[in-house]
């Protein structure tokens, strides 16, 4: 039973560029959430996708957008990258959007913006 997978593992981009990160949820899960974790900080909620729609959103600018596909996998897109976007981006999947189900985190994508 595959857990949550994310690609790529590491990424280096230049300021102003755009990036796409990918996530495949745990088998049987239909809800995907994305988090940004800066060094030494707790994960910060970006948004949640369910049934191919954005259901919840955290305090992130519109430069952060996402998508969920019919197979439940998801993408996180960040436009006009800033140095402050350097972080570990975590994808988490759960059975349903409700809070009573644990979230399974993937290994993350380490994004460095230079």
Partner 1 sequence: GQQVMQIPQYQHVQEGEDFTTYCNSSTTLSNIQWYKQRPGGHPVFLIQLVKSGEVKKQKRLTFQFGEAKKNSSLHITATQTTDVGTYFCAGDSSNTGKLIFGQGTTLQVKP
Q: Which residues make up the interface to partner 1 (CB under 8 A)?
A: 31, 33, 35, 41-45, 48, 55-56, 58-59, 90, 94, 97-108
Question: Quick one: 14 or 102, whose CB is closer to partner 1?
Answer: 102
Name the β-bridge partners of 44. 36
CB of 14 to partner 1, least distance (A): 25
Question: Quick one: 19 or 91, whose CB is closer to partner 1?
Answer: 91
Phi, psi of 72 (to 5 degrees): 80, -5
- At a CB cut-off of 8 Å and minimum separation 6, what does 48 contact? 31, 32, 33, 34, 54, 55, 56, 57, 97
CB of 39 to partner 1, least distance (A): 12
């Amino acid at each position: 039973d595959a857990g949550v997978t994310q690609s790529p593992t590491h990424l280096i981009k230049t300021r102003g560029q755009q990036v796409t990160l990918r996530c495949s949820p745990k088998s049987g899960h239909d809800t995907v959430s994305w988090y940004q974790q800066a060094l030494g900080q707790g994960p910060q909620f970006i948004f949640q996708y369910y049934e191919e729609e954005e259901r919840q959103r955290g305090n992130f600018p519109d430069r952060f957008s996402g998508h969920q596909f019919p197979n439940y996998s998801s993408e996180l897109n960040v436009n006009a990258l800033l140095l402050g976007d350097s972080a570990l981006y975590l994808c988490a999947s759960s059975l349903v959007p409700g809070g009573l189900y644990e979230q399974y985190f993937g290994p993350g994508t380490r994004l460095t913006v230079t």
